Amino acid sequence: MQTMLTALFAGIGGVAGSYAYAGDTPSFVVAPIAGFLARAMPAPVVSFAITTLGSFGEQLNLGTAVVLAVALLAGTSLVALAVGRRVESAVATVGLTALLGWVATASVTEVPLPALSALSTGLASATVVAVSEFLRETSGREDEIFDGERRQLLGGLASALGIGLFGYVFGSRQTTTSPENLGATPRRQRLFEEATAKSLDIPGIDPLISDVGSFYEVDINNIDPAVETDEWTLSITGAVERERTYSYSDLTSMEADDRFYTLRCVGDSLNGTKMDNAIWTGVPIMDVIDEARPHGNYVVLRAADDYYEAFPIEALRGGMLAYGMNGRGLPREHGAPVRALLPGHWGEPNVKWITEIEFSREAVTGYWEQRGWHGTGPVKTVAKFHAINRLPDGRVQVGGHAYAGTRGIQSVEVSIDGGSWREATLSEPLSGEAVWRQWEYKYEPPAESHEVVVRATDRTGTLQARKKAEPFPNGPSGWVSRTVNMTANER
Ligand SMILES: Nc1nc2c(c(=O)[nH]1)N[C@H]1C(S)=C(S)[C@@H](COP(=O)(O)O)O[C@H]1N2
Ligand SMILES: [Mo]
């Protein structure tokens, strides 16, 4: 029993030691395990996790990975304890703990963790075992308050907690980097002012530019890649006349552009919040690609997290390689240092942490398409309905955002009586190819409790589809309908 607990503490210490070295990066021993779990999960489970569990699903995955990592290191420590005691050598026990912990950590995935990261894990486990074994063996006297086994357990627990605290402090330091300020160019300044001037003031919904901190995040790993700017490169490969490789400074020394561009995930629920807008800074993707003279019809964008999406080459037109977001460098969670942005497409092909643009003569099946999704094409038209406010004069204000990709939003209509439609007020369109608009409608409530339905029409004159569909596999559709209850404290 004592041995089991000592091994468990060693497992906890090992994971904490790994965190101390790597922080919240892919070199953390939990990261490859969480990634493995996410990829090994059958497609329907993944879809359920995304659309129903949301971030809880991610936490569940991360929690499971932590437990598995602790179990792995507890297992190797247990072996070391058994062998070391058999040969009656504390040195062997401790050394073997470090060695096995190191080997196990280094081999948890097909992509091995960096040697130093794995070593920090093994050493941390060995420290816990060393403290425990030392306390067990140095106790001899019968009249001691704590006998050897108690001392062993308390020592193991204390050292695991100590390493945990150390790991927390150092590991967090590893990962908190705030992106540099890109400085205010006149063009960027104009875009910020434009968004402020055009934003409608509707309590309960985002302004026209989302805060970077609340901008939705979707990706395949719990722990995002941490790509160093000076180590980053982008290769243009495959069916091209000349392969090319760009560094970060190659890219940033090209003529920069700033654009509004709205992103929406195909796995967003109909009235969900996986839709946001930002000002992005970068270079037109075609400026980079033209130099390589591609001749395939298809393109694959690959990333540092092994994510890849593939689609016909036309989708790249109007696209950008972005390294800035709302006036700062791209935050890590949104793809630092560089991501792709393809106006009007679902989020999927907007590949973050991009490392390679590969051209191909044949169609390739992307990461999500292998799992049954169809999320590389243009977005569906949607009017989201997020705000219900009671005005002091007794009227009701309802509002939200509407988005139709590059087709643009022409109008938004509201019905409060289950039949007749009134035009909502729209925010002035922002400059740009694929940008959302806000809508707002004020009315006298027809009853205590009533149903409000909203629908958008795009600039081609096409009405948002009424027929309901789940997000999987093509993105949600239908008209958003909400019950407004005057007696409840609605918002
Ligand atoms: N490298 C990489 N890029 C990625 C993803 C990913 O998992 N890995 N997810 C995609 C999906 S499904 C969406 S919706 C958008 C989300 O971008 P955001 O997290 O910046 O909002 O990124 C896309 N780009
Ligand atoms: Mo997505």
The continuous run of DSSP H or E covering 245 comes out as strand 244-247
Pocket test for ligand 1, best of 345, 352, 354, 373 (most atoms within 8 A of CB): 352
| 26 CA distance to ligand 2 middle (Å) | 21
- Relative to the CA of 216, which ligand 1 atom is closest? 21
Atom 21, ligand 1: residue with shortest CA distance: 217
| 131 CA distance to ligand 1 middle (Å) | 44
In the block, tokens 């109007």 appear at 318
Q: Is 348's pLDDT higher than 50?
A: yes
| 325 CA distance to ligand 1 middle (Å) | 15
How many helices (H) does the chain have, and how many strands (E)? 10, 19
- The ligand whose atoms approach the alpha carbon of 471 most closely is 2
488: region left, alpha or beta (phi > 0 left; psi from -120 to 50 alpha): beta
- Relative to the CA of 219, which ligand 1 atom is closest? 7
Alpha-carbon dihedral 364, 366, 367, 373, rounded to 10 degrees: -130
Q: What is the pLDDT of residue 59?
A: 86
- The length of the chain is 491
* CB neighbour list of residue 87: distance below 8 Å, 6 or more residues apart: none
Bridge partners, residue 426, by sequence: 439
| 348 CA distance to ligand 1 middle (Å) | 6
Distance CA 331, CA 359 (A): 28
In the block, tokens 């100590």 appear at 162
Ligand 1: residues within 6 Å at CB? 215-220, 263, 265, 303, 305, 307, 334, 347-348, 350-353
Average pLDDT over residues 262-269: 97
Query: What is the rounded end-to-end Cα distance, in angstroms, of the chain?
Result: 55
Q: What is the pLDDT of residue 488?
A: 57
| 264 CA distance to ligand 2 middle (Å) | 7
- Relative to the CA of 264, which ligand 1 atom is closest? 14
| 286 CA distance to ligand 2 middle (Å) | 23
Q: What is the pLDDT of residue 176?
A: 59
State how beta strands 396-403 and 382-383 pair.
antiparallel
Q: What is the pLDDT of residue 490?
A: 46
Q: What are the distances in angstroms from CA 48 to CA 45, 425, 473?
A: 5, 36, 12
Atom 2, ligand 1: residue with shortest CA distance: 352
| 277 CA distance to ligand 2 middle (Å) | 14
Pocket test for ligand 1, best of 350, 373, 374 (most atoms within 8 A of CB): 350
Alpha-carbon dihedral 108, 112, 116, 122, rounded to 10 degrees: 20
Q: What is the pLDDT of residue 109?
A: 63
Distance CA 185, CA 270 (A): 37
Q: What is the pLDDT of residue 491?
A: 45
Atom 12, ligand 1: residue with shortest CA distance: 348
Poorest-confidence range of 51-65, 153-167, 461-475?
51-65
pLDDT digits (tens, 9 = 90+) for 403-431: 999 999 999 999 999 889 999 999 999 99
Distance CA 242, CA 294 (A): 8
pLDDT level of residue 42 (50, 70, 90 thresholds): confident
pLDDT digits (tens, 9 = 90+) for 365-388: 999 999 999 999 999 999 999 999
Q: Is 83's pLDDT higher than 60?
A: yes
Average pLDDT over residues 6-11: 95
What letter would DSSP give residue 391? -
Alpha-carbon 153 to chain mean position:
39
Average pLDDT over residues 352-361: 97
Average pLDDT over residues 149-169: 90
pLDDT digits (tens, 9 = 90+) for 90-112: 899 999 999 999 988 888 765 66
Q: Is 128's pLDDT higher than 70?
A: yes
- Relative to the CA of 353, which ligand 1 atom is closest? 1
Alpha-carbon 357 to chain mean position:
21
Q: Is 173's pLDDT higher than 80?
A: no
Q: What is the pLDDT of residue 111?
A: 61
* Token representation of residue 146: 């704590």
For the chain, what percent of residues have pLDDT higher than 90?
76
Average pLDDT over residues 19-39: 89
More confident residue, 364 or 36: 364
- Relative to the CA of 221, which ligand 1 atom is closest? 7
| Mean pLDDT across the chain | 92
pLDDT digits (tens, 9 = 90+) for 61-81: 899 999 999 999 999 999 999
| 168 CA distance to ligand 2 middle (Å) | 31
Distance CA 267, CA 373 (A): 9
Q: What are the distances in angstroms from CA 139 to CA 59, 131, 144, 151, 205?
A: 42, 13, 8, 8, 65
* Contact by Cβ (8 Å): 233, 51: no
| 274 CA distance to ligand 2 middle (Å) | 8
* Contact by Cβ (8 Å): 200, 438: yes
Distance CA 376, CA 475 (A): 11
Ligand 2 ion: residues within 5 Å (CB): 218, 265, 347
- The ligand whose atoms approach the alpha carbon of 356 most closely is 1
Q: Is 247's pLDDT higher than 80?
A: yes
| Alpha helices by DSSP H, 139-284 | 148-175, 186-198, 248-252
pLDDT digits (tens, 9 = 90+) for 177-221: 678 888 889 999 999 999 999 999 999 999 999 999 899 999 998
Atom 23, ligand 1: residue with shortest CA distance: 348
- The ligand whose atoms approach the alpha carbon of 475 most closely is 2
For the chain, what percent of residues have pLDDT higher than 70?
96
Which burial class, exposed, middle or buried, applies to 174 when counting CB atoms under 10 A from its CB (0-12, 13-18, 19+)?
Answer: middle
pLDDT level of residue 307 (50, 70, 90 thresholds): very high
This model's pTM is above 0.85 = yes
pLDDT digits (tens, 9 = 90+) for 274-288: 999 999 999 999 999
Q: What is the pLDDT of residue 144?
A: 63
- Relative to the CA of 215, which ligand 1 atom is closest? 21
* Contact by Cβ (8 Å): 481, 451: yes
CA-wise closest residue to 446 among 484, 400, 414: 484
